[in-house]
Structure 1
Amino acid sequence: MPRRFLPLALPLALAAVVLTGCAVTAEAATPSATASATASPTPVASATETPVPAAAAEVLAENADGTVVNDDEWSIDDAVSIELDGSTATSDAEGVSVSGSTVTITAAGVYALSGSLTGQVVVAAPDDALVVLVLDGATITNATGSAIHVVSADDVAIHLAADSTNTVTATSSADADASAAIYADTDLTVSGAGSLAVTDSGNDGISSTDDLAVIGGTITVNAADDALRGKDSLVVKDGSLTLTAGGDALKSDQTDDAAKGYVWIAGGTITASAGDDGVDAQTDAVISGGAISLATDDDGIHSETILVIAGGEIDITRSNEGIESADIRIAGGRSNVVSSDDGVNASGNSTSDMGGGMQDTGEKLTISDGVLTIDAQGDGLDSNGTIQMTGGEVTVFGPTANDNGALDSNGGITVSGGTLVAIGSSGMAETPDESSAQGWLAATVSGSAGSTVQITDASGAVIASYTATKTFASVVFSSPAIATSQSYTVTVDGVATTVTAGEAAAGGMGGGMGGGPR
């Protein structure tokens, strides 16, 4: 059966690599339940979509297309009713059977569920079927497994009727065939303008073994393990999500295909608390829009291959390491990171327990645009390979301990654009390379939380001013206003220190090979 692909409004240079939509008709059990499911015939690069920033589109183009069931692919007028009633249910649709407390849907169509059920809803439709479950004041509870289990179909959508309140509660098991409160062995889309509260005290909240897409709804998930998991891909395009997870909040973990296993957040509002990672992608993590607040016990955002932030508002309020991947590209958006270890860490290529020691192991941290603010107890910007900055605005309030640095790389730091300030300890302080195209300065100066750091040129003109958030002993600064070999003054609470741009401060690490084991 032809598939519906998630619309991407790509720049024209990349649009040609993306497939167009195609018409699809889902067969139903009876004429009254016929669901005409027609995908948009326009190319994926739709003018009605918010354009995807080029840095994000470049990475997404290398991944497999995600599947979504848009709301215009089916009609609520075709819906047949399933009335949930305690430990049983009733329906006139031929595609619905009820056995005890189990409701089974065996045919394509649109099904409107309302009422309360202590039991399970099962979708076991043909492999070419589109099944839409419209939750309209539905409460489904199962204390011995998943509450909604999609066994088979082509695509399944869970649509939250406008102004409706829906609840799904389960106790699933990681060892069971269906290991989430809502579990699909198919592509799964969640949409609509209603609300959905999902609780699973045994394992995951909402999980798909294929693609999982969220394109609407007010969704609250409280899960013993992962809150949202799409094995092939997890895409959030719209909606308001509040996620509490014992494991990862948003996860994609396909290991068999390098073009899958990615997480893409393109819009919506996400507030997540996680016992592990906030975002965890087996391959790529792409943030191009939305608003995202993460409080995590491990990484805020983690991916194994490429991590791109090209838009959106990101606030990582608690993390061990804030942003981590082998290839990190900050190309837009506004990000705030608080971490108990490294703020942004490009690592992962080395298999050494010590993170590769001091050698350059090929990781990359590239900053070309956006606003990034870091408050790190470990290294602020850290790369086991290189750090390259060509634009954007970066402020690092780095460590107070001397065994870490506000800037730390194994392969060197080059700056050719943007504004960079790194305020931290002095023991491992690193500066950009002498070969950097843009001027920079470094000063061994000290202060404490609330101290004012001011940088002036030889004429006394103020170039920049910052207020420190913690104790510090070093300042590194780069901007287009700094000219190599010229004199500048760094003043902390009225105490002035004159430095020469392009010269490392006494006691610092200089350019490249900074820091110790990761």
Structure 2
Amino acid sequence: MKKLRKYTAAALSALLLVSAVPFAASAAEASSDGIIRGDVNGDGVVNISDATAVQRYLSSFITLNDERVKAADVNNDGEVNIKDATEIQKYLANYSNTYKIGEAIEAESGSTDPSEATQATEATVPTQATTPAAEVTGDEWKENTGKIVLSNNAITVTGNGATVDGNVVTITEGGDWEVTGTCDNGMIYINTGEEKDVNDKVKLRLNGMSLTNQNGPAIYFDRCKKAFITIEDGTTNTVSDSSTYDTAYADAKGAIHSDDTLEIKGKGTLDVNGNYKHGINSSDDILIENGVINVTAVKDALHANDDITLSGKNIKLTTNAQGDGIESEGTINIDKASLNLTGSGKGINAALDIALTSGTYEINTTDDCVNGNAAVNISGGSYNLTSGDDAVTGATVDIAAGTFEIECAGKGINGDGDITLTDGTYTVNSTADDCINGNSVVNILGGTYTLTAGDEAVTGDAINISGGEITANVSGKGIKATTDMNITGGSFTVTSTDDSIHSNGNITIDGGTFKLTSNDDGIHADTTVTIKSGTIDILKSYEGVEGNYVVIDGGTISVVASDDGVNAAGGNDQSSMGGRPGQNQFRPGSSTSNSSITVNGGYLYVTASGDGVDSNGALSFNGGTVIVQGPTTGGNFAIDADGTIGFNGGTVLALASSNAMWEDVNGKSGNAVLNKSIGSVSSGSTIAVTDSSGNVLSVIKPRISGNLGILYYTDRTSLLTSCKAVTGASYSGTLDSFGYSESGTISGGTGKTLSKGSSSGGGPGGRW
């Protein structure tokens, strides 16, 4: 940053030294240094990532080298600030490109701001020394100082270009005026003429003043190059307009109105009462650097036809508006400010992008708290948002960091397009809607989320989650995708009336930790559920894992289900039964014969009152470990398939009630062995399966009790028909958290021989 400032200063000094040399010759020597203006991340193009990079740089999330700082200083004012991010956003929206963003940076020759540039002209080199003409720096207006003393009797003014007519002060020249006193019916009117040159700038220093106009705006910057208001340190100032305006002031729209850019700063307090429309209004930009500003308004508290920028940690803005708190027809950029916004409209509302870098935000509105019709980018700050509608909404929403406390009747965070949440802490209570909703892709990369919803916790067209900690308690579904969902990491604790994890398309889980409690399905996909890795604990469900196709390649999965533990097909819009709230729709044209469950690996532990593993089509065990306990009553089966069953690898151990497990046995046990009655077993006792030499192949302390049967398969021995199920034995060894092991020793107990069914091969249908 310092190098950049020195470079600019050196360039200006050089111009002064060669002032007698034709400017055109100097310009001809300029050469490109290979840096693209606005390409902050150095990838060769200018896009929204560069605007975000500026915001993250200002929040100290990233650092930039000298070249990237030069690229980021798009307006070439010698520093990188929020204005540079705004200019990039305006360029991307095809709104303006004043500073030639996207073009190579040429050797610097001073400010690139066309409004501040001094036009140099060619001159013949004199043969004799001459006195150079006085240079116009653009700061001469500051030398014209004066005072305005308000009064109900007689207003007095000093300074060139300031006059008084009754109770109206008119300023016609650029200058710097101090304003004091009180007037209950008056106005300060500024008009420096149609041709606004560089010195037609006007500053009002508010030094303990109070001004009310009963016929129009109190302060009216009608025409000037730029308008400044300074709130003097330690003072309180009040500005109020009337509820109706005289026709002469019909173009004004606020107690403080400017047709040109309005900049406000200072360490004092400014109270504004907008009784006609807005509190503070500009037909151009509004820039606020510091100050304590309190605004009430019948419409918007702050309103600008172009951009609004609040940049400074000493800004404290409090509004109470019947319209919006802050409304811009361009962009809104806020960094480090402290805001308390209350109103009947929206809190922060922009026609284009919103960039919130840091700060403190207390917003209580009937409408949305933060609304951007283009992108909403948040890279830090503390947000306490109470909304009668959505809390944060935009065409796209990108949140890199921040702390959010949200109470809303609508959606907590809503995107018409993509939502990307990189980090942050979110506590969201959406009483009647979703906590997080994206109409396109929702990407969650990290963060901590406590979500309470009248509908879904997280919903999107497609959902990608790679990290974060999500705790949700919802009346609808927990996490729902319209198309596909991909989860590769994160922690999930979901309590839901409907499905905890749901997709109308496919679900792929390849990582993460899950604790799911559902009155319907734990995990449901209308097409395919694929589990590759992760730790999944479904503590309560109607059906644990359900899809038209279920593929388990890995992971540790524990299921407690009042119906089926794992189910392929079987759910549709008419499947609600026994108080089950869910209405699951499989894809049109699907049939039970095309459904399947395939277990290739992992650890699946099922406790079910219905079928343990139930496929309305084929069922294949190719690897991994599958433990099924239940049902304990008739009418359901531990292993159930309408199509073929293949025991091709891994280990399968199924326990169920004798009369439940063996109803309608058709002898299609494939390679598995079984015994429909191994005796009365108590929960927590020991059941072991041993080979012909008495070695333990599997041992379990069951969660169910009663007169049980067993089905067993393992690829660790080829002599399954020599295996026995031993009950009542003493076990020595280590059990896992599910009470299961494939090692250790037993002593004592009663053994029952396991045998195959009447057919040795897998057939078209089987139930055990």
Same fold (TM over 0.5): yes
Counterpart in the other structure of 2:385: 140
Q: 1:191 aligns with which of 422, 439, 443?
A: 422
Preserved CA contact (<8 Å) 1:440 1:483: no
Counterpart in the other structure of 2:481: 252
Match status 1:476 vs 2:476: no
Counterpart in the other structure of 2:596: 364
Match status 1:159 vs 2:400: yes
> Partner amino acid for 1:183?
N
Cα 1:236–1:433, aligned 2, differ >3 Å: closer, same or farther? farther
Preserved CA contact (<8 Å) 1:284 1:306: yes
Q: 1:319 aligns with which of 523, 541, 547?
A: 541
Counterpart in the other structure of 2:765: 513
Is the partner of 1:209 in helix, strand or coil?
A: strand
Deviation at 1:291, TM superposition (A): 0.7
Preserved CA contact (<8 Å) 2:667 2:758: no
Greater Rg by CA:
2
Is the partner of 1:225 in helix, strand or coil?
A: coil
Preserved CA contact (<8 Å) 2:354 2:372: no
Is the partner of 1:402 in helix, strand or coil?
A: coil
Aligned length: 424
> Partner amino acid for 2:598?
T
Match status 1:95 vs 2:339: no
Cα 1:415–1:482, aligned 2, differ >3 Å: closer, same or farther? same
Q: 1:407 aligns with which of 622, 639, 643?
A: 639
Percent same amino acid among aligned pairs? 27
> Partner amino acid for 2:473?
T
Cα 1:500–1:469, aligned 2, differ >3 Å: closer, same or farther? closer
Cα 1:146–1:90, aligned 2, differ >3 Å: closer, same or farther? closer
Rounded Cα–Cα distance in structure 2 between residues aligned with 1:427 and 1:375:
17
Q: 1:171 aligns with which of 384, 389, 409?
A: 409
Deviation at 1:443, TM superposition (A): 4.5
Match status 1:107 vs 2:352: yes
> Partner amino acid for 1:181?
G
Preserved CA contact (<8 Å) 1:200 1:224: yes
Preserved CA contact (<8 Å) 2:490 2:512: yes
Structure 1: gaps spanning 5 or more residues: 1-20, 39-77, 173-179, 254-260
Rounded Cα–Cα distance in structure 2 between residues aligned with 1:270 and 1:22:
39
1:321-360 equivalences in 2 (<5 Å): 321-348=543-570
Question: More displaced, 493-502 or 404-413?
Answer: 493-502
Counterpart in the other structure of 1:224: 454
Match status 1:233 vs 2:484: no
Is the partner of 2:466 in helix, strand or coil?
A: strand
Deviation at 1:308, TM superposition (A): 0.6
Deviation at 1:433, TM superposition (A): 7.7
Q: 1:394 aligns with which of 615, 623, 626?
A: 626
Match status 1:455 vs 2:689: yes
Question: More displaced, 243-252 or 453-462?
Answer: 453-462
Counterpart in the other structure of 1:464: 698
Preserved CA contact (<8 Å) 2:449 2:471: yes
Cα 1:215–1:262, aligned 2, differ >3 Å: closer, same or farther? same
Q: Deviations for 1:119-170, whole angstroms, at most 9, x for unmatched residues?
A: 23344445xxx5412341111111x2112222x3xx3202323xxx321210
Cα 1:213–1:80, aligned 2, differ >3 Å: closer, same or farther? farther
Counterpart in the other structure of 1:445: 678
Whose helix fraction is larger, Structure 1's or Structure 2's? 2
Rounded Cα–Cα distance in structure 2 between residues aligned with 1:351 and 1:206:
25
Rounded Cα–Cα distance in structure 2 between residues aligned with 1:87 and 1:471:
66
Preserved CA contact (<8 Å) 1:488 1:499: yes
Calculate the TM-score normalised by the size of structure 1. Answer: 0.73
Preserved CA contact (<8 Å) 2:432 2:455: yes
Preserved CA contact (<8 Å) 2:644 2:764: yes
Counterpart in the other structure of 1:46: none
> Partner amino acid for 2:47?
T
Q: Deviations for 1:350-374, whole angstroms, at most 9, x for unmatched residues?
A: 999799xxx9622100000111111
> Partner amino acid for 2:476?
G
Match status 1:425 vs 2:657: yes
Is the partner of 2:694 in helix, strand or coil?
A: coil
Cα 1:23–1:125, aligned 2, differ >3 Å: closer, same or farther? farther
Deviation at 1:329, TM superposition (A): 0.3
Rounded Cα–Cα distance in structure 2 between residues aligned with 1:196 and 1:233:
21
Rounded Cα–Cα distance in structure 2 between residues aligned with 1:415 and 1:489:
19
Preserved CA contact (<8 Å) 1:222 1:243: yes
Is the partner of 1:160 in helix, strand or coil?
A: coil
> Partner amino acid for 1:196?
Y
Deviation at 1:95, TM superposition (A): 1.1
Cα 1:396–1:219, aligned 2, differ >3 Å: closer, same or farther? same
Cα 1:439–1:338, aligned 2, differ >3 Å: closer, same or farther? closer
Q: Which has the higher contact order (CA 8 A, sep 6+)?
A: 1
Calculate the TM-score normalised by the size of structure 2. Answer: 0.51
> Partner amino acid for 1:185?
D
Q: Please tell me the root mean square deviation across aligned C-alpha atoms, in Å.
A: 3.6
> Partner amino acid for 2:753?
V
Rounded Cα–Cα distance in structure 1 between residues aligned with 2:430 and 2:412:
5
> Partner amino acid for 1:496?
T
1:284-299 equivalences in 2 (<5 Å): 284-299=506-521
Question: More displaced, 23-32 or 471-480?
Answer: 23-32
